[in-house]
């Protein structure tokens, strides 16, 4: 049965940092656009741009706040989306400023948008708890507390004194709720750790698949493990960590392959921290396959982003193999570029679609790295 869902109207307020190039900005806006499209029932109805640095109090500066408020007065809008990472205090101030015009308005930053997509795709308790934890961190006590305030007032939004008189109360409530979620997550993490230790005890080696979102990680996982997990031309199709087995004739044993959530640029550390449980498998793997969409014009930047995240997770570089995927869609020039640029790094060119390079991966790369891992 078809359900009618209301279209969410999003106003994008884009703060273009000083010295940003036109192409960087275009890539950034395109990604925000794709993220919004991934939500399914949301559209960016307009973009207001501000050039300059972040204003500490309001992120976009008083003048811009007024401009956005004037826009909201004339254009029905559900969400004001800011690019980048906006502090809870800035979001709180903005929300309050816009409330004069629209009491239902929600202010989101890029992380809130990503978390909304996560929620849409989350299936497991673990994923839901991690999203909840990241959300709470991203909201901060006062915005989180607004929900509590609303329920106390029986649903009506009272603006008088909101968030000011009750800051301490909200802070305590926020901390208590965070602890609850953390405790629940810890139990799940323990189960995962036990499973990993059990595998290690049995001498089973593990390969984890990581990479920027939409690079083709799940497609590669499916090819390797003969599974049929959801593959989609969408950002964050995968949110959980899934495990599959592959028998390697060259090693005469089976290995475990894991697929996990994709990465994206500008993730705050608190979000990565919230997903520690899911990423645990990747952190402890013997080999880390860093899957890259070789047809992506922003490939180099995305490799950098993923490497930064791998670093923050303390995954040693020696475990990493660059896997350039979508070789079937590459022309000669694209191939040559990879061959010349990455000649010094361990890499392999594959296609999850045509299966080019898969044999090389399983017969040469895996045995080589897995033998090394045992030494």
Ligand X SMILES: Nc1nc2c(ncn2[C@@H]2O[C@H](COP(=O)(O)OP(=O)(O)OP(=O)(O)O)[C@@H](O)[C@H]2O)c(=O)[nH]1
- What is the distance, to the nearest Å, from the Cα of residue 323 to the centroid of all Cα atoms in its chain? 20
| Closest CB 362 distance from ligand X, rounded Å | 16
Q: Pick between residue 141 and residue 357 the one whose CB is nearest to ligand X.
A: 357
Region 308-337 residues binding ligand X, contact defined as CB under 6 A = 325-326, 328-329
Q: Pick between residue 149 and residue 259 the one whose CB is nearest to ligand X.
A: 259
The first and second tokens of residue 344, run together, are 């010094």
For 346, which DSSP code?
A: -
Interface characters, 32-61, with ligand X (x: CB under 6 A): ------------------------------
The correct pick among 93, 107, 352, 361 for binding ligand X (CB under 6 A) is 352
The correct pick among 36, 90, 206, 238 for binding ligand X (CB under 6 A) is 238
Number of H helices, E strands in the chain: 13, 10
Name which of ligand X, Mg ion, none residue 216 binds, using a CB cut-off of 5 to 8 Å depending on partner kind. Answer: ligand X
Paired sense of beta strands 242-248 and 253-259, if any: antiparallel
Q: Pick between residue 166 and residue 214 the one whose CB is nearest to ligand X.
A: 214
Region 203-242 residues binding Mg ion, contact defined as CB under 5 A = 217-218, 237-238
Interface characters, 194-233, with ligand X (x: CB under 6 A): -----------------x-xxxxxxx-----------xxx
Instruction: Tell me: does residue 141 bind ligand X (CB under 6 A).
Output: no
Question: For residue 169, which of 141, 132, 143 has the smallest C-alpha distance?
Answer: 141
Region 95-124 residues binding ligand X, contact defined as CB under 6 A = none
Binding footprint of ligand X, residue count (CB under 6 A): 24
Q: Pick between residue 25 and residue 234 the one whose CB is nearest to ligand X.
A: 234
Q: Pick between residue 106 and residue 234 the one whose CB is nearest to ligand X.
A: 234
Backbone angles phi, psi at 113, to 5 degrees: -65, -45
Please enumerate in sequence order all residues whose Cβ is within 8 A of that of 291, keeping only pairs 6 or more positions apart, or say none.
209, 210, 211, 215, 216, 217, 220, 323, 325
DSSP 238-273: --S-EEEEEEETTTTEEEEEEE-PPB-SS--HHHHH
Residue 63 to residues 68, 70, 103, 106: CA-CA distances in angstroms?
9, 11, 21, 20
For 187, which DSSP code?
A: H
Enumerate binding residues for ligand X (CB under 6 A). Answer: 211, 213-219, 231-238, 262, 325-326, 328-329, 351-353
Enumerate binding residues for Mg ion (CB under 5 A). Answer: 217-218, 237-238
């Amino acid at each position: 049965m078809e359900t009618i869902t209301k279209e969410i109207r999003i106003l994008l307020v884009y703060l273009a940092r000083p010295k940003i190039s036109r192409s960087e900005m275009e890539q950034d806006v395109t990604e925000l656009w794709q993220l919004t499209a991934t939500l399914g029932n949301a559209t960016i109805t307009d973009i207001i741009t501000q050039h300059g640095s972040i204003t500490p109090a309001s992120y976009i500066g008083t003048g811009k706040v007024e401009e956005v408020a004037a826009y909201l007065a004339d254009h029905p809008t559900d969400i004001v989306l800011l690019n980048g990472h906006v502090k809870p205090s800035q979001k709180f101030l903005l929300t309050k400023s816009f409330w004069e015009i629209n009491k239902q308005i929600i202010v989101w930053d890029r992380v809130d948008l990503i978390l909304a997509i996560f929620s849409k795709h989350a299936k497991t308790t673990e994923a839901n708890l991690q999203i909840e934890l990241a959300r709470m961190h991203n909201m901060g006590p006062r915005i989180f507390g607004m929900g509590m305030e609303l329920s106390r007032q029986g649903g009506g939004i009272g603006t008088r004194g909101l968030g000011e008189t009750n800051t301490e109360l909200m802070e305590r409530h926020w901390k208590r709720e965070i602890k609850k979620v953390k405790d629940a997550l810890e139990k799940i993490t323990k189960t995962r750790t036990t499973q990993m230790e059990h595998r290690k005890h049995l001498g089973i080696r593990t390969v984890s698949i990581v990479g920027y979102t939409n690079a083709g990680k799940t497609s590669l996982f499916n090819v390797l493990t003969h599974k049929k997990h959801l593959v989609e031309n969408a950002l964050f199709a995968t949110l959980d960590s899934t495990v599959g087995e592959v028998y390697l004739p060259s090693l005469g044993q089976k290995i475990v392959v894991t697929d996990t959530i994709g990465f994206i640029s500008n993730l705050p550390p608190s979000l990565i921290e919230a997903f520690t449980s899911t990423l645990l498998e990747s952190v402890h793997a013997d080999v880390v396959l860093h899957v890259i969409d070789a047809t992506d014009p922003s490939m180099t930047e995305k490799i950098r982003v993923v490497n930064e995240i791998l670093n923050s997770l303390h995954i040693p570089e020696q475990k990493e193999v660059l896997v350039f995927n979508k070789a079937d869609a590459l022309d000669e020039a694209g191939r040559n570029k990879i061959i010349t640029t990455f000649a010094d790094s361990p890499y392999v060119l594959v296609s999850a679609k045509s299966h080019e390079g898969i044999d090389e991966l399983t017969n040469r790369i895996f045995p080589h790295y897995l033998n090394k891992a045992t030494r």
